[in-house]
Structure 1
Amino acid sequence: MSQNNFKLIECPRDAMQGLHNFIPTELKVEYLNLLLQVGFDTLDFGSFVSPKAIPQMADTAEVLAQLDLSNTNTKLLAIVANLRGVEDAIKHEAVDYLGFPFSISETFQQRNTNSSITQSLNTVEEMLSLCAKNNKKAVIYLSMGFGNPYGDEWNYGIVEQWADVLVGKGAEILSLADTVGVSTPEKIENILPELISKFKNTEIGIHLHSIPADRFEKIEAAYRSGVTRIDSALKGFGGCPMAADDLTGNIATEDVISYLNSKEEILNLNMDKWKEAIAFSVKIFG
């Protein structure tokens, strides 16, 4: 029996952000408060980004004010896309982590954050500095980490090179993100062990998108690669609204839990609260 101390990152923000109809703030709060009681390491709960870009997340500050953090050890992560977002997020004491999507595809970086890779690197530097001063931690997503649909150059060396640059700037947590579902078990097992062994003092995670049929083999590849930080979303809802594909959603949390249980990993989750959250999710996702 392994005791790898898995960090499960539940991502309702990623699940909700692309939904067309605005979810009332009180419904979001009720759903997040249930998820906070399950026992995940971190809840990726909202984002401080332009309401024009992601209208669904316009109420993140209001949602945050109503979260019940009195009875949970789960940490809160908010996504930011520029310095203004960083400055908004760090004002909130309850936010533990700021997540930044650093794309290694120039085309996607422009689409997603309206800035170049070079400009985004400057943002990351400022963000790391502000996080250090404000007792927050940064999570840098290596977005399009498994390839991209735009024909921008991609290979394992490019992934490693950018990881090297970001760690050199002071990044302590990197999450390799498959924004459009192009990861394969082979790619996962080629890249992840390399990064984990090269950057021993950096927490390396994975944020995969997948079609339902491929989920289990991707989870297994990540596990075999030695990853202990996994992003997922209840029922695999969501995906990236900037990279439209209806079939490709998040990895489903229940699949991750089921796989890790089969490996006798100790997850310390409150499964009653998890079942309540699954039942409640119908009110949000239909």
Structure 2
Amino acid sequence: MQGMPRFIPTEVKAAYLKLLLSVGFERLDFGSFVSPKAIPQMRDTIDVLNLVDAAASTSQLLAIVANVRGAEQATKFAQVGILGFPFSISETFQRRNTNSTIAQAIDTVKQIVAICHVNGKVPLIYLSMGFGNPYGDAWNPAIVADYTAQLLALGVRHFSLADTVGSSTPDGIATLYAYIHSAFPEIELGLHLHSTPNESRDKLSAALDAGCARFDTALRGLGGCPMAEDKLTGNIATETLLQLLYERGVDTGLDMDAWAEAMQYSREVFL
């Protein structure tokens, strides 16, 4: 929702979230504790939380934070179990996305990890621009591994390799995922891929074959990062992943009736 110019009413967001909570996903990225000037769509995150009872669901709520202040806000809510921070491999994009340098972002992560530790929350780092960037900043798998090692040393155990601009290829996904997973077997490593619809299945197949078991997706493949380029492709569609898992005989354990209801309601949310 975050990049949509039309403000989605708080009640609609809450109703949508309630439906998604009934499906049985492990985690739901539901909102962001960020500046309302930067991301106006997320200005009602607290109000949405107050309308949702997540206690009856097995899903964990994940909130995006861009700085220490956001982390402190998020930890005030018992419903929020995971705090996600976008750490960019690209210096240019780190400045664009969180208005800080990579060095400053590392210090921010250190403080967020401490906040999470005290408040019983889980810090998750998105390795943004993890598959390269359009800005000419240096990138290779060793650079990704170096930053992963630095963040691991700060106490982070949950990571997502994020293809922020949809530049990854199936071979690149398989290679980088295997490389980082092999170098850091102690971490939980997932993928946050952006893609055009016609490339999604090949990317997901490559990731599954490489052993990835956690994917960030969005119903109907909507979304993206408003701080990236205007031509950004959307998130990979949840239904594409579910279809692929079905074809492979993987039981997701999801309530498919609740899923169908959420899919139907999504058409009302994203008019």
TM-score range, shorter chain: over 0.9
Q: Which residue of 1 aligns with 2:214?
A: 229
Deviations 1:164-222, CA, capped at 9 Å, x for gaps: 11111111101000000001111111110111122111100000000111000000011
The one of 176, 185, 193 aligned to 1:191: 176
Residue 251 of structure 2 aligns to a residue whose secondary structure is coil
Deviations 1:125-148, CA, capped at 9 Å, x for gaps: 011111011000011000000011
The one of 123, 142, 156 aligned to 1:138: 123
Residue 151 of structure 1 aligns to a residue whose secondary structure is coil
The one of 221, 228, 234 aligned to 1:243: 228
Relative distance call for 1:85 and 1:247 in structure 2 (3 A) is: closer
Pair 1:20-2:5 in alignment:
yes
Deviation at 1:247, TM superposition (A): 6.0
Deviation at 1:283, TM superposition (A): 1.3
**CA distance in 1 between partners of 2:136 and 2:231 (Å):** 21
The one of 70, 73, 96 aligned to 2:81: 96
Q: Which residue of 2 aligns with 1:40?
A: 25
**CA distance in 1 between partners of 2:22 and 2:231 (Å):** 30
Residue 98 of structure 1 aligns to a residue whose secondary structure is strand
Residue 97 of structure 1 aligns to a residue whose secondary structure is strand
Question: Larger relative CO (CA 8 A, sep 6+): 1 or 2?
Answer: 1
The answer for unaligned runs of 5 or more in structure 2 is: none
Q: Is the 8 A contact 1:211 1:247 kept in 2?
A: no
The one of 193, 201, 216 aligned to 2:201: 216
Q: Which residue of 2 aligns with 1:4?
A: none
**CA distance in 1 between partners of 2:230 and 2:67 (Å):** 25
Which structure 2 residues correspond to residues 121-200 of structure 1 after superposition, within 5 A?
A: 121-200=106-185
**CA distance in 2 between partners of 1:70 and 1:168 (Å):** 32
Relative distance call for 1:263 and 1:197 in structure 2 (3 A) is: same
Deviations 1:8-34, CA, capped at 9 Å, x for gaps: xxxxxxxx0010011000000000100
**CA distance in 2 between partners of 1:54 and 1:69 (Å):** 24
Q: Which residue of 1 aligns with 2:98?
A: 113
The answer for unaligned runs of 5 or more in structure 1 is: 1-15
**CA distance in 2 between partners of 1:177 and 1:137 (Å):** 18
How much identity, in percent, do the aligned residues show?
A: 54
Q: Is the 8 A contact 1:78 1:95 kept in 2?
A: yes
Which structure 2 residues correspond to residues 49-88 of structure 1 after superposition, within 5 A?
A: 49-88=34-73
**CA distance in 1 between partners of 2:255 and 2:223 (Å):** 23
Q: Which moved more, 1:48-57 or 1:274-283?
A: 274-283
**CA distance in 2 between partners of 1:246 and 1:46 (Å):** 23
Q: Which residue of 2 aligns with 1:30?
A: 15
Q: Is the 8 A contact 2:62 2:80 kept in 1?
A: yes
Q: TM-score, normalised by structure 2?
A: 0.98
Deviation at 1:63, TM superposition (A): 0.3
Q: CA RMSD of the aligned region, Å?
A: 0.9
**CA distance in 2 between partners of 1:194 and 1:260 (Å):** 24
Q: Is the 8 A contact 1:37 1:273 kept in 2?
A: yes
Q: Is the 8 A contact 1:76 1:96 kept in 2?
A: yes
Which residue identity lines up with residue 223 of structure 2 in the other structure? G
**Runs of 4+ displaced beyond 4 Å:** none
Residue 96 of structure 1 aligns to a residue whose secondary structure is strand
